[in-house]
Homo-oligomer: A and B are copies of this chain.
Amino acid sequence: MDARKQDKGQGAAKMTMAKSVCVVGSVAIDSVDTPTGSASNVLGGACSYFSVAASFFAPVNLVGVVGRDFPESSRRFLGDCGINLEGLTEADGETFRWHGRYHENMNMRDTLDLRLNVFDKFVPTLPESYRGSEFVFLATIQPSLQAHVLSQLEAPTYVGADTIEHWIREAPAELAQLLSQVDLFTINDTEAELLAGERNVVKAARKILQMGPRHLIVKRGEYGALLFSSDEVFAVPAFPLEEVVDPTGAGDTFAGGLFGSLAADGEVTARSIRRAIAYGTVVASFTVEDFGLSRLTTLTRDEIDARLRQFIAITDFQS
């Protein structure tokens, strides 16, 4: 924790320039089994992963709900990351719990147990102080609730949203409505195929862009990511890793690093979004090196920047 705190201290001056990121989504208590180990009752949920990743770059305002059982240590950890928890409400009942098991092929997993608990009745309400947020990420929740968050914002600069297969199948109309209101949509490749009804990823992306978002990022796990807009495509590989301990949270920390970097730049340009995707890739690569959020608890901004330089070196073929 020392390294992280020291790093945060050093970064404080720079961070006063950064715009803040507001994120809405799940905060959970996870248990994970992989072919080589397991972790029980650790801090999880898209919103937690996203927030911690984004906190290396910019101030973060979190909106979520936990139960009475939410560990004080997890709350303290998020606070120590500098994350604003004014929007983290505590409700009567238990925190969202998820238990998953990864296959030998770590791209596949089974959900062994899922209890939404207090998350089931979650209706996100932004504290007054969050309503001027400029960079906003709507992690996976029911699309109509994601839209409900949007209605509480004054004039966001850039809004991103994520979803999962469940909402593509169960709430297509609400999702379509949401897509017409966001700037960036993130989705994985099988979800893109499902949503567009199109197997070719480039064609699928063109169809999804027609639904409204200015930017679409297709996440391909260990194969990297693709960014699409009306006039460009950007392709980036993943950071090649010798050891993937636990893939949980890779996509959420990718999005967190991405939004943190955009907020730190303060504007979304063709250049800043590519750089942000590279930062997201790098932060995600650290996440999967240990269970849950463990690796990110000791990670420093210097380590992130060093790996970004390494990432540039391993992908460069021009110089």
Whether A241 is near chain B, meaning CB under 8 Å from some CB there, is: yes
Sorting the interface of chain A by its residue count into under 10, 10 to 19, 20 to 34 or 35 or more gives 35 or more
On chain B, the residues within 8 Å of A317 by CB distance are 234, 236, 274-275, 277-278, 312, 315
Docked-complex contact B314 and A315, CB < 8 angstroms: no
Whether A226 is near chain B, meaning CB under 8 Å from some CB there, is: yes
CA of A224 to CA of B235 in the docked complex: distance in angstroms?
Answer: 10
Docked-complex contact A240 and B235, CB < 8 angstroms: yes
A277-295 Cβ-contact flags toward B at 8 Å (1 or 0) = 1100000000000000000
Docked-complex contact B104 and A314, CB < 8 angstroms: no
Whether A75 is near chain B, meaning CB under 8 Å from some CB there, is: no
CA of A177 to CA of B226 in the docked complex: distance in angstroms?
Answer: 40
Docked-complex contact B202 and A241, CB < 8 angstroms: yes
**Which of these, B104, B200, B274, B312, contacts A199 with CB under 8 Å?**
B104
A198-224 Cβ-contact flags toward B at 8 Å (1 or 0) = 011111001000000000000010111
CA of A275 to CA of B319 in the docked complex: distance in angstroms?
Answer: 9
Which of chain B's residues has its CB closest to A281's CB?
A: B317
Q: Given A220-B223, A223-B223, A223-B224, A314 and B235 touching (CB < 8 A)? A: yes
On chain B, the residues within 8 Å of A315 by CB distance are 234-236, 315, 317
**A 261-319 contacts with B by CB, 8 A:** 271, 274-275, 277-278, 312, 314-319
Docked-complex contact B242 and A202, CB < 8 angstroms: yes
Whether A233 is near chain B, meaning CB under 8 Å from some CB there, is: yes
Residues of A at under 8 Å CB distance from B? Answer: 104-105, 199-203, 206, 220, 222-224, 226, 232-244, 271, 274-275, 277-278, 312, 314-319
Q: List 24 A-B contacts (CB under 8 A).
A: A104-B199, A200-B242, A200-B244, A201-B222, A202-B240, A202-B241, A223-B223, A223-B224, A224-B224, A224-B235, A226-B240, A233-B314, A234-B314, A234-B315, A234-B317, A235-B238, A236-B237, A236-B315, A237-B237, A271-B319, A274-B317, A277-B317, A315-B317, A316-B318
